[in-house]
Amino acid sequence: MADQDRRTVSAWRPLVPGVVEVFHAHFTEYAYPMHVHDAWTLLIVDDGAVRYDLDRHEHGTPHDTVSLLPPHVPHNGSPATPDGFRKRVLYLDASRLGDELIGPAVDGPDLRDPVLRRRVGQLHSALALPGDELEAESRLTLIGERLHEHLLPRGEGGPVRRRDPVLARRLRELLDERVVQGIGLEEAAARVAAHPAHLVRAFSGAYGIAPHQYLMSRRVDRARRLLLAGSGPADVAAATGFYDQAHLTRHFKRLVGITPGRYRTSGH
């Protein structure tokens, strides 16, 4: 007897500007009819492959490809392998990708770029749990920049990367002021009058660490002091800017090597 068609879907809207929806799905037989979206579709396939038609041309999505489908352009989609496909999709509004990219994306929607593919996967990981919005914003900004470089190249040499230690210091000071409250990348860029992508690159180039990593390091340092003073992990999470205790535990264990609870009792 043939296997039944299996469909597993999860979808949500994160608190990240420009992201309309995150959509994860595993389909074995389902085929999308021709349709359009009013947002950009940024697609990676983790298992299997998808074949689709875009503007009357056939395309495919092997696992090492990032596909970018523009808004308002009809497309369909169906499994290209017997076991179907498992995909992760971001729907992005025009604040992230502008109309000037629609034509180039129609002409070449499938991008073979291992760095871009890895960054999109990292972005999905950051979007999966609340509390890491600054990381997600930063990763999405650099992804948008790389998509522009693919679709609207500025020449063989690519864009010039400039160091900007003054800008980096201004962002560090801003992060230091907002350790607990946090700050979104768009707000930070507006405060220091810089493009978000340039701001992330300037900070990372100056300090060897991304802005979201710096902020989480500062929060974990504060958490360590409070834990050693006797506060419980749940109270520490609330006092140091983490979304909840699980969010604190995830970052604390990554940076310190043990959970906050074990750290709190390690000296007794």
pLDDT for 1 equals 35
**Cα-flanking dihedrals φ and ψ of residue 12, to 5°?**
-160, 165
**78-97 residue pLDDT tens:** 888 888 889 999 999 999 99
Has residue 234 got a pLDDT over 90? yes
- Look at residues 75, 28, 65 and name the one whose alpha carbon lies nearest to residue 45: 65
193: alpha, beta or left? (left if phi > 0; alpha if psi -120 to 50): left
Higher pLDDT, 50 or 160: 50
CA distance 127 to 136: 6
pLDDT for 157 equals 42
Has residue 113 got a pLDDT over 80? yes
Amino acid at the residue 137: E
CA distance 74 to 223: 50
C-beta neighbour count of 246 within 10 angstroms: 13
Confidence of residue 55 (pLDDT cuts 50, 70, 90): confident
Contact 64, 82 (CB under 8 A): no
**Count of residues making up the chain:** 268
pLDDT for 158 equals 46
Confidence of residue 144 (pLDDT cuts 50, 70, 90): very high
Report, in this order, helix, strand and coil percent for the chain, each rounded to 5: 45, 20, 35
- Decide: helix, strand or coil at residue 237: helix
Has residue 160 got a pLDDT over 60? no
pTM score, two decimals?
A: 0.87
Contact 109, 72 (CB under 8 A): no
Residue 10 CA to its chain's centroid (Å): 17
pLDDT for 2 equals 43
pLDDT for 84 equals 87
Tell me what the pLDDT averaged over the chain comes to.
91
CA distance 7 to 86: 10
CA distance 113 to 80: 21
Confidence of residue 268 (pLDDT cuts 50, 70, 90): low
CA distance 41 to 168: 32
